[in-house]
Amino acid sequence: MKRVLQSRWSKPVLFLLCLVPVFLLGWRAYQGHLGANPIEFVTHSTGDWTIRFLMITLSITPLRMILHQPALLRFRRMLGLFAFFYVFLHFVITYLWFDKFFDIHEIAKDIVKRPFITVGFAAFVLLIPLAITSTDGWQRRLGRRWQTLHRAIYFIALLGVIHYYWLVKSDVRLPLMYGAIFAVLMLYRFWMWSQKPSAVRKPQTAGVAG
């Protein structure tokens, strides 16, 4: 497994895999297979992939420890940025553009009056500085503070789960499932942090954190 992870093809392959959902959406759109309410379909699909990528990104650190494969870290940034890519599609393209046609007044009303949109919007806004500072340059520039800033991902993922839970009418199974996944990923971290505080918290390289 170590060889696969360290191969120079692993990142390009993963990049293409991460694009598959949006390719599939595009294909469906081209075929006219987006159902009777295409905008709703695309909104839900991009939302689903946002939360999936958030959970996948959050699972890198536990997997590194459990599988004893520190090399998994190489992929975390790409996965996190894909979460941003899908939330960008979800919010800017589907909601702001196709749904609201950039009607600032309507959008502002929604954000203020609809709790599930407030929470979703907050998660999006918080993710922006994380996306911007994901580069090596910013990691160097921010030093230890980079780690603190990027801990916001825990709160962002939680907001995502709440956003999902608050928007469904009655079938809460999927939001609860993501909530359970998030809880497990966080519980693992709490356990990890309680085990060896000094060994784990000290960064191995600048900007690498648990």
Binding part of the chain for other proteins, among 11-19, 77-85, 105-113, 144-152 by CB under 8 A, reads: 105-113
**Cα separations (Å) of 187 from 59, 100, 182, 192, 202?**
12, 38, 8, 8, 20
Q: Which of 5, 14, 22, 39 binds other proteins (CB under 8 A)?
A: 39
171 sits near other proteins (criterion: CB under 8 A): yes
| DSSP 8-state symbol, 209 | -
Residue 101 lies near other proteins (rule: CB under 8 A): yes
> Residue 29 interacts with other proteins (CB under 8 A)?
no
Site for other proteins contains 97 (CB under 8 A): no
C-alpha 194/C-alpha 202 separation (Å) is 14
Instruction: Compute the distance between CA of residue 187 and CA of residue 112 in angstroms, rounded to an integer.
Output: 32
Ramachandran angles phi, psi of 133, nearest 5°: -90, 20
What minimum distance in Å lies between the beta carbon of 40 and other proteins?
7
Task: Compute the distance between CA of residue 152 and CA of residue 134 in angstroms, rounded to an integer.
Answer: 13
Nearest 5 degrees, angle CA 177-CA 70-CA 153?
Answer: 45
Which residue type is seen at 5?
A: L
Among 173, 190, 196, 202, binds other proteins (CB under 8 A): 173
Q: From the list 152, 167, 184, 200, which residue makes contact with other proteins (rule: CB under 8 A)?
A: 167
Q: What is the DSSP string of 21-67?
A: HHHHHHHHHHHT-S-S-HHHHHHHHHHHHHHHHHHHHHTHHHHHHHT
108 touching other proteins, by CB under 8 A: no
**Which part of the chain contacts other proteins (CB under 8 A), choosing from 67-75, 95-103, 120-128, 156-164?**
95-103
Q: Shortest Cβ distance from residue 102 to other proteins (Å)?
A: 12
> Is position 170 an interface residue for other proteins (rule: CB under 8 A)?
yes
Which range binds other proteins by CB under 8 A, 58-66, 171-179, 183-191, 198-206?
A: 171-179
Query: Contact positions toward other proteins, by CB under 8 A?
Result: 35-37, 39-40, 98-99, 101, 109-110, 113-116, 166-167, 169-173
